[in-house]
Structure 1
Amino acid sequence: MPLPRRALVAAAGALAAAGALAAALALTACGGASSGATAELAPAKGSIAPNGAVVNLTADQNRVTTAKVDAIAALVPEEIRRKGTLAVVDSLGTTPPLDFYANDDRTIIGVEPDIATLVGNVLGLKVEFNPVSWENIFVGLDSGKYDVGLSNITVTEARKEKYDFATYRLDVLGFEARKGSGLKVAGAKDLAGRSVGVSSGTNQEKLLISWSEENTRNGLKPIDIKYFQGTEFYLALSSGRIDAYVGPNPSLAFHVAQTGETEIVGTYSGGGADVLGKIAATTRKGNGLVQALNGALNEVIRNGSYGQVLKRWGLDNEAVPASEVNPPGLPKP
């Protein structure tokens, strides 16, 4: 069931406060790469301290691990158990701290690969990473080439028609603006008449379009939506060509921590006003894998290894208390 509006407002407030704290400590929220953003935000080749933790950017990740659980591993479809590997499809490694390349420019690191590794541990499967472009994640899942997508994918009602989901993180969108701009974003009216950047084909774009239409209905100016597919939006921000950019809060807040030139001026649920957005492990509908994924995620949440991974990447504020199968998602337009 969708959360009551009062609960959503409270949750949004808590998320905003947590996001602001994380940024202040030196690191976001609702699913951006989840939505297909591909901004190349890789940090400098050195240590970073988001959320007070030093981040390992080398190929030698020394990832958090956990033990196999036979009862959960038994839920894996026989074909996957037989091959002994879990084919994980992820984005091209360009969105820290979600999924990006280590300083060897080959090894994929980030919170998504770490969570995939934990899932593989519980299921007794070797994880095989397959970095592809955003649209090819779904092409590969559809064809059966890959078993599961772990790439900051948001649960939506439209996607639930083709895929099964096991949630593992809150989906929080962030609004990034130049430091000192005075802009604060809590809803549609705050962006009336503003120029806002976004990546096309994403949940963020859907949000901006719906907000712009809301403003028009209410007699306010529409949002001037500008489209970017890479990091050129930062030049637009610095030059004042756009007032803000909306994307996955984790990657935007990570960028804020690196440069100190911008700030997060608001966060919002990736599920919209009536649904608390969730990021989920995504698999082809009806292939029998989702229960195993759900069981593995709940096991790592229970045993604390999940919490260690989120803390490692400064995403403590995006933790979920339990993994859900196919919860309410972003509504259809």
Structure 2
Amino acid sequence: MLTRLRRGAAVTSAVMAAALMLAACGGGSSTSPAASTSDGTASPAAAQTGSAATFNLTPDQNRIRTEKVDAIAALVPQEIRDRGTIRITGSAGTAPPLRFYADDDTTLIGSEVDLAELFSDVLGLQVEEGTADWAQNFVRIDSGEADAFISNVTVTEERKEKYDFATYRQDTLGLESRADDPWTVSGRKDLAGKVIAVGSGTNQEKLLVDWNEANVADGLAPIDIKYFQNSTDYYLALSSGRIDGYLGPNPTAQFHAASTGETTVIGTFSGAGDALQGEIAVLSLKGNGLAQAYAAAINHTIENGTYQQVLDRWQLGSEAVDKSEINPPGLPKTG
């Protein structure tokens, strides 16, 4: 569990630990390119102090809200409409800025919570937030204990056999460099000869290994891939110049860069490779109609601007989608 995050060293340590947790256990999710990269400046919802942004990590979030739309609310399955609440499940204590605990160690906050609340506003429903370990979230959907799984869930072909999806965010990796020594990167060839750290056993490690093999096949210098035992060692190595960059989940990279001012995100990439754009989506039981309601609600918040405001609040504006889609192509089955 993440508790009592503060700027400076405490934020660096906690965010890095959370980033590794998300990367290693993100439900098999992979990632895809964002439309643009962030310059690390604070969003309107974050107070600027020097070169670092201060995020609201208290239980009192003063969330961005919107109005109910009757025509969209009518798309919600009758049983849920009669109940008046939507039961949301997701992981907790994973990684800022996605879904984590406020500084009271009890209240769930983060971009995923804000978006769940925003979409529910359009649907005219009160949110009942629940938490579970990653695999248990699927069990809660299967059993009917929860209606929707909103917690950085990537669309995959295997999951589409059992669930419906309504997309709301791109799924990306971010490459961090020191803020005082940024360098230019647009693709794998720019990493030739560089020392890059990555978490072992993660999606981004597979991508980095694939890039290195392709670079070597093209006659370029190999990428020197580094691994560290402790979570904080990645950022210590970056600050000391022992590595040129750290490849990890983009949301935590953006949050770390904005919180500390010590790093900057110099590139975002598709964790699924060049052939596919991964998507983060609301997951619900296949065929119950909830995905259609969510897609309409998401598109309404995109149109009225509140969706972008939530993403900007957590430094995730670069992961915005132009339109929510139902069951788009997902990551292919493995094996």
TM range (shorter): 0.7 to 0.9
Query: 1:179-328 residue pairs with structure 2 within 5 A?
Result: 179-180=179-180, 183-192=183-192, 194-199=194-199, 202-220=202-220, 221=222, 224=225, 226=227, 230-238=231-239, 242-328=243-329
User: Are the aligned partners of 2:298 and 2:324 in contact in 1 as well (CA < 8 Å)?
Assistant: yes
User: Are the aligned partners of 1:200 and 1:229 in contact in 2 as well (CA < 8 Å)?
Assistant: no
| Alignment match, 1:163 | 163
The farther-off stretch of 176-185 and 126-135 is 176-185
| Alignment match, 2:7 | none
Map Cα deviations across residues 122-164 of structure 1 (whole Å, 9 max, x no partner). 2222212223344443443344433222222233334333432
Query: 1:113-128 residue pairs with structure 2 within 5 A?
Result: 113-128=113-128
CA distance in 2 between counterparts of 1:130 and 1:200 reads: 30
CA distance in 2 between counterparts of 1:200 and 1:286 reads: 37
CA spacing shift, 1:242–1:89, aligned 2, 3 Å: farther
| Alignment match, 1:15 | 36
Paired positions, count: 299
The farther-off stretch of 92-101 and 134-143 is 134-143
Gaps of 5+ in 1: 1-10, 28-46
Q: TM-score, normalised by structure 2?
A: 0.75
Residue aligned with 1:15, SS: coil
Gaps of 5+ in 2: 1-31
Residue aligned with 2:266, SS: strand
Q: Does 1:146 align with 2:160?
A: no
Q: Quote the sequence identity (%).
A: 55
Q: Aligned partner of 2:247: which letter? A: V
| Alignment match, 2:107 | 107
The farther-off stretch of 118-127 and 268-277 is 268-277
Deviation at 1:325, TM superposition (A): 0.9
Deviation at 1:314, TM superposition (A): 3.2
| Alignment match, 1:61 | 61
User: Are the aligned partners of 1:165 and 1:281 in contact in 2 as well (CA < 8 Å)?
Assistant: yes
Q: Aligned partner of 1:269: which letter? A: S
Deviation at 1:52, TM superposition (A): 10
The farther-off stretch of 122-131 and 232-241 is 232-241
Map Cα deviations across residues 170-220 of structure 1 (whole Å, 9 max, x no partner). 223211133455554332333346554434565423422432342354355
Deviation at 1:282, TM superposition (A): 1.9
Deviation at 1:113, TM superposition (A): 0.7
| Alignment match, 2:22 | none
Q: Does 1:95 align with 2:95?
A: yes
The farther-off stretch of 169-178 and 293-302 is 169-178
